[in-house]
Amino acid sequence: MKAVLVLNAGSSSLKFALFPLEPTLATKPALSGQIEGIGATPELSAKDANGERFHEPVATLGEQSEQHRDALNHLFHWLAAHNPDLEIAAAGHRVVHGGDLYSAPVKLSEALLRELDTFVPLAPLHQPHNLRAVRAVATLMPAVPQVACFDTAFHRTQPAVAQAFALPRAITAEGVKRYGFHGLSYDYVARQLPDIIGERAHGSVVIAHLGIHETSAVCAQTQILERDASASLRTALHDADVSASERHGANLGRCKIILGDRIVDAVGPDCDVDRIADNRER
């Protein structure tokens, strides 16, 4: 079976799905699941298209970064054992941050990976793990082409005012702004809406991304410009991310990571950037 492998690598989990490619790319996976507990005691759980479930421990040693590689290695061997004729034609990855440059999926290369490494300060909890999975696939299956799909890409049609913090323009020009997150989730919902609510999907719509770990986000969208295979969309407002770890001052905290003490000069010494970034009370 020729198939596309889709991966979503997090800090402690690796989600995967296998989409058959014969005769054309299927819209439903032949197999999907995840390896959870990376960094502790990893376990694989999966389900095939017939509803059969699989569960087994993943043998791994070493640091968390090595466990990601071991988890992928275990996954590839497991997939091959359950699909002896499996041929992985390509691998697709969820990558959280593509900066200003990438507003569409892109084929990955080592040079591009080095560029995506520079966005780690903008998404330190996610970007390193996303890229680690890409490099692991390149090591284990060097001939397989890989593609990155960016969460930030969906939001690149926002107006500049929606992306800007209340900071001097010189700092905004250095890349400190709202890039938007959960874009792949929003994109999927936006593509499904016309089939569900008809013409109303072409008006003003608020999409909610309700995640786990007390994380939620919303995005306002207006005007689906065209409905075709690529579904060109325009987002109107930035997504408002509210989470236990990021509420109030996380964006300002990231500004401090990127700009250092210059952020204090920008907002003034009375702002107490450290307190806001750490979400502490006065």
- pLDDT at site 136: 87
CA 19 to mean position of chain CA atoms: 19
Each residue's pLDDT tens digit, 61-109: 767 667 778 888 899 889 888 888 889 999 999 999 988 888 899 999 9
How many Å apart are CA 122 and CA 115, to the nearest integer?
Answer: 13
Each residue's pLDDT tens digit, 208-217: 877 665 566 7
The parts of the chain modelled with pLDDT lower than 50 are: 225-250, 273, 276-282
CA 210 to mean position of chain CA atoms: 15
- pLDDT at site 252: 53
Q: Strand 146-150 relative to strand 43-48: parallel, antiparallel, unpaired?
A: unpaired
- pLDDT at site 16: 96
Sequence-separated (6 or more) residues with CB below 8 Å from residue 272: 282
The full set of domain ranges for the chain reads 2-154, 160-178+245-277, 183-241
Strand ranges of the sheet holding 87-95, from the earlier edge strand across to the other edge:
53-57, 43-48, 31-36, 13-20, 2-9, 87-95, 146-150, 106-107
- pLDDT at site 173: 81
Residue 60: HSE in the Cβ half-sphere, 13 Å Cα cutoff: 27
The verdict on whether 228 is a catalytic residue reads no
Name the CATH superfamily, with its identifier, for domain 2-154. ATPase, nucleotide binding domain (3.30.420.40)
- pLDDT at site 205: 82
Q: Which of 70, 100, 117, 151 is catalytic?
A: 151
